[in-house]
Chain A
Amino acid sequence: MPSQVRYNRSLDWVTVGLYALMVLLGWVSVYAASYSPDAPPLGAGLSFSELMAFNWFKQVLWIGTAVVLIVVLVVVDYKAYDTFAFVLYGIMIALLIITPFIARPIAGSRSWLELGPVRLQPAEFAKFITALAVSRYMAGINLRQQNWRDQLVLAGLTLLPPALIIAANETGQALVFAAFLLAYFREGMSPLILIILAAAAVILILALLVPKIWLFGAFTVVLALVFVFNPKVFRHHLPLSLSVWAVVIGMVFGVDFFFNNVLQPHQRKRIEVLINPSADPLGVGWNVTQSKIAIGSGGLVGKGFLEGTQTKFDFVPEQSTDFIFCTVGEEWGWLGTATVIILFMTLLARIVFVAERQKSVFGRTYGYCVASIIFFHFCINIGMTIGLAPVVGIPLPFFSYGGSSLWSFTVLLFILLAIDAYRKQDLVR
């Protein structure tokens, strides 16, 4: 079986096309966000070191190196990902542990490793390595069979990297690991966990928005109604239902404690601002307000390429990295933002499709991890730019400027495509 031919045919060109399109659109946005009206268009005639002052030019380099990465990833024998998953995981954990000790503090966190001119964030790569490791482990167990030891190991594998990342003060990157729940759900995790977590989130948000005494009354009334209309619950599940009620009420009244004692001040502020952007108009609220203004002023068709005043005149902070979506919204309008959303949806659906056609649990789980991680970034990043999610500094996959981010998403995606390209060999295996 000539493997070369097979892999050419089986590489999922739809996903590759979507990836290329998104990276290209991302670069166009980075160019608009970081070009200088004083410099010649596309920096014609500038020296290399002058060009290195522009994020759009550096992004060209990151994209070029990403292409090299892709070739390497696809050429490497797909079995290597399976085989070396735990080894990579071990190396990553070691790296995460030592990073805070050897890294210089940048923007309040010691999470960047500097190799000459290149800065890398190990946390970015923790995502795909953890995805590989949990998929590898998942392939050996059955989540439905209630094996506590296996589930504990799985939980440990998933929670260790974010714990280390939080220690390095990169809360945003740590939150991403919550995305794995979606993959575990597909592999058989009880939906109850998702429901309980969703319910907890809703209760916490309600407790911040609505007077607590109302919530207390409302939940008590709900409990009473359940007892009245379903007396069986009262007779057989009284202790359970009462303890659920107690936990809910405890959460309602405990939210202030959580808010004031567990969260750090800057995190607290970000949640406050989400509820009321004018609470801190010049601090965190500024980001949210200006980002909404930039996007909102785009209208239906946008102001046109390079015509965005809010981004051009620096009203939006972090505009080529975390707030890149503002440039899209301002210069291309709703048509642009809707296109980006549709692109992400198409990509996610395609990844789910690719994952589902894997014959191995490893491949499928990894596929779902990829989809979940990209989805989580999409949710939080776009959500924060339009005031629906707290300001958490995580990039928009393929769009945001930055080598670490682009490389890690490229690796994440193309490992899946490499596995997918050889999927038929699994039959042989």
Chain B
Amino acid sequence: MQYLEGRKFVVLAIFLAVALVFGTRLFYIQVLDKSYKLAADRNTLQRIVQVPYRGLIYDRNGQLLVQNTPVYDLMVVPREVKQLDTLRFCQLLQLPIEELRASLKAARAYSRVKASPLVQNLSTPELAAVQDNLIDFPGFSIKARMARSYRTQSLAHALGYVGAITPAFLEKPKYAKYLPGDNIGITGLEAFYESTLMGRRGVQYRMVNVRGIEKGAFRGGEFDTLSVAGQDLHTSIDIELQKYGEQLMLGKRGTVVALDPKTGEILAFVSAPFYDPSVLTGKGMGNRYMELLRNPELPLFDRPLMATYPPGSVFKLVNALVALQAGVVKPETPFDCNWRLVRCTHRHEAPRNVSIAIKNSCNPYFYQVMRAMVLRGRSPKRAEDARLGLGVWREQVMSFGVGNKLGVDLPQERKGLIPSPEFYDKRYGFHRWGFKTVYSLSIGQGEIGITGLQMANIMATIANRGFYYTPHFVRRIGNGGPLPQFRERHYTAVDSSHFRAIIPGMQAVVDGRGGTGEFASLAMFGISVAGKTGTVQNAHGPDHATFAAFAPANDPQIAIAVFIENAGFGGNSAAPLASLMIEKYLRGKVIRKRWEFWLQGSADKFIRHR
């Protein structure tokens, strides 16, 4: 029997082996593997996010534009649904039965015991129909939440819209704080000022037991935070002027941008065709968005920021200014209206000085101004001379805020195009081009693109005699001021004195006899308008009509740029439209009703043409 005693060691070894396996396994799951800790927190910690009240948006006169209103979601707790009378339920909600079945299935898949939305964004009348009958449908409840609603039908492009955050956004670290289903500003001011408008979310951590019943705050609420409401935005938009601008642009394509030159504040921002911002809210928003997206007129396209057009004759002002600054012309320099250089717009008096040339928009005059500016004998080689000259010209021109983003407080601004020598090198080859290649820049045609906003900004710069503030929409954030960058003056490369030299010419455009912009005259009200017409040839049908102006000439309070696509001569449609806007803004009302009819007529013509 002695040898059997050795077996006690075998028995003990078996005990020990199991103990070691357990000890090791426990060490692994308790100390090394952190996933069980996370799983435990997921079990017991419920994170309740309090979404703060989103900031409101006002116009410059304190009129409320964008607000929050409650919308209602019909929630369902699948486990509590008992003997659902689907027929009656569907009639009540006007919901196809297949849709109800699919939604219920999705809700069950999410959780049987937690509430999930069955129908979202019920309107108040729909709510009224459902609410009283809910007592017959256990398991269903109504949850209110805040959604955006609009007190105006205008300004959709600038306001932008708010929608549920997309999975693509959620992946970006910038949006780490957002949860699926959260609302976020998608375009416009809603997107640019998202962090300001959103406020700060509050988070509460609650402990729950296995049945999801609350068992108090986690660690006495140590990690809880309160929500802070979003800040209001006070915009510089004059909503009456905006509405009026949209009314005038009805049926047309194009942009109208009006600025307060003294501050850079945007007074009106019309992108036609436009849409009612309320379209992108509430139930069925997705479908309506797709409709807008598929519309061949591109109503979602934010033209003042994103459409770049050749500026046409309006750009002659900038060319005159940089040439004056370079000293290659003087205000009294004459050139002849030589049709062999370039065709002129019409027969007119001799351009004996810059003012007369501006008044008549003389193409050969500005051809020669540009040539004097570009070809200055900087190099004996003519091609190199043109190259160097264009480079100098570009640098000067770009100080007017063109060819780069201005930095307006909206996303998606385009730079536009002021061509560099390298641009032409690339297109034609090094030294394979000369002044004859680029001369159309002298009259704002050719390889040049600026946005409506940039055009308005040029007017504000001239109105200020040499500087501008970055155009912006928001003049007050909450109780504070605008963003700091909107308080900085940007000086152009052109001295103030040269601006004074061209303004009489711009006044003559409107108020001089036979000026191209005579339809924009507000002389009967004693308002002196300084402006410039433009007629832009383009590959997409009839010419675009432009007119840019500021008023009053001596004490400018509004600078405006109008761009109407395919509307022909700028003096006929764009000029009166701009003058109506100026009248509206400066006088508060419009009495020149015939111009409204005139513009309505030109809209009809425009529609007939298409």
Contacts and interface: CB of A to CB of B under 8 A. Distances in A.
Interface of A: 182, 185-188, 191, 290, 292-300, 309-310, 312-315, 329, 333-334, 337-338, 341-342, 344-345, 348-349, 352, 356, 368, 371, 375, 378-379, 382-383, 386, 388
Interface string B206-228: 01111100010000000000000
B11 A296 contact: no
18 contacts: A185-B7, A290-B43, A295-B36, A299-B31, A309-B43, A313-B43, A314-B210, A315-B210, A337-B30, A341-B23, A342-B19, A345-B19, A349-B15, A356-B8, A371-B15, A375-B14, A386-B22, A386-B29
B4 A296 contact: no
Interface string B1-31: 0001101101110111011011101110111
Given A296-B37, A310-B44, A371 B11 contact: yes
Contacts of B26: 295, 329, 334, 337-338, 341, 386
Contact of B209 (A299, A313, A342, A352): A313
A187 B4 contact: yes
A132 to B, nearest CB: 20
Contacts of B290: none
B40 A294 contact: yes
Contact of B7 (A186, A334, A379): A186
B78 to A, nearest CB: 14
Contacts of A310: 40, 43-44
A382 B30 CA distance: 14
B4 A386 contact: no
Contacts of B29: 292, 295-296, 386
A341 B207 contact: no
A296 B39 contact: yes
Contacts of A292: 29, 36
B126 interface: no
A315 B5 contact: no
A341 B208 CA distance: 32
B505 to A, nearest CB: 81
Given A292-B29, A293-B40, A295-B26, 4 more contacts: A309-B207, A310-B43, A313-B215, A388-B22
A416 to B, nearest CB: 15
B10 to A, nearest CB: 7
Overall SS of chain A's interface: helix
A261 to B, nearest CB: 31
A341 B21 CA distance: 11
A334 B207 CA distance: 24
A109 to B, nearest CB: 25
B297 interface: no
Contacts of A315: 43-44, 209-210
B33 interface: yes
Contacts of B210: 313-315
A388 B23 CA distance: 12
B44 A313 contact: yes
A309 B43 CA distance: 9
B11 A297 contact: no
A368 B23 CA distance: 24
B33 A296 contact: yes
Interface in B341-372: none
Contacts of A371: 11, 15
B209 A314 contact: yes
A333 B37 CA distance: 12
Interface in B32-71: 33, 35-37, 39-41, 43-44
A345 B13 CA distance: 11
B15 A356 contact: no
Contacts of B18: 375, 378-379
Contacts of B10: 185, 191
Contact of A382 (B22, B43, B215): B22
- Pairs A-B, 10 closest by C-beta atoms: A296-B36, A297-B40, A313-B209, A296-B29, A334-B30, A314-B210, A309-B44, A293-B39, A337-B26, A297-B37
Contact of B15 (A191, A348, A382): A348
Contacts of B7: 185-186
A187 B1 CA distance: 9
Contacts of A382: 22
Nearest to A144: B4
Given A293-B36, A349-B12, A388 B4 contact: no
A356 B1 CA distance: 12
Nearest to B16: A345
B8 A352 contact: yes
Contacts of A294: 40
A386 B26 CA distance: 7
A378 B37 CA distance: 25
Nearest to B43: A315
B3 to A, nearest CB: 10
A333 B43 CA distance: 18
B4 A309 contact: no
A188 B4 contact: yes
Q: Which interface residue of A293, A294, A352 has the most chain B CB atoms within 10 A?
A: A293
B22 A341 contact: yes
Contacts of A187: 4
A348 B16 CA distance: 10
Contacts of B208: 313
B19 A297 contact: no
B4 A186 contact: yes
A80 B40 CA distance: 52
Contacts of B22: 337, 341, 382-383, 386, 388
Nearest to A371: B11
A334 B31 contact: yes
Contacts of B40: 293-294, 296-297, 309-310
A296 B35 CA distance: 8
A388 B22 CA distance: 9
Contacts of B41: 297
A310 B208 CA distance: 10
Contacts of A182: 11, 14
B27 A334 contact: yes
B25 A388 contact: yes
B30 A352 contact: no
Contacts of A368: 11
Q: Which interface residue of B29, B35, B207 has the most chain A CB atoms within 10 A?
A: B29
Given A185-B7, A337-B30, A388 B44 contact: no
A386 B36 CA distance: 12
A152 to B, nearest CB: 21
Contact of A329 (B23, B30, B35, B211): B30
A349 B39 CA distance: 37
Contacts of B209: 312-315
B287 to A, nearest CB: 38
A342 B19 CA distance: 8
A309 B216 CA distance: 12
Contacts of A348: 12, 15
A141 to B, nearest CB: 13
Contacts of A185: 7, 10-11
Q: Which interface residue of B26, B30, B35 has the most chain A CB atoms within 10 A?
A: B30
Contacts of A297: 36-37, 39-41
Contacts of A334: 26-27, 30-31
A186 B215 contact: no
A225 to B, nearest CB: 28
A187 B8 CA distance: 10
A352 B11 contact: yes
A220 B25 CA distance: 33
Nearest to B112: A282
A290 B27 CA distance: 17
A300 B30 CA distance: 6
Nearest to A142: B1
A371 B210 CA distance: 37
A352 B21 contact: no
A341 B16 CA distance: 10
Contacts of B19: 341-342, 344-345
A406 to B, nearest CB: 22
A185 B15 CA distance: 14
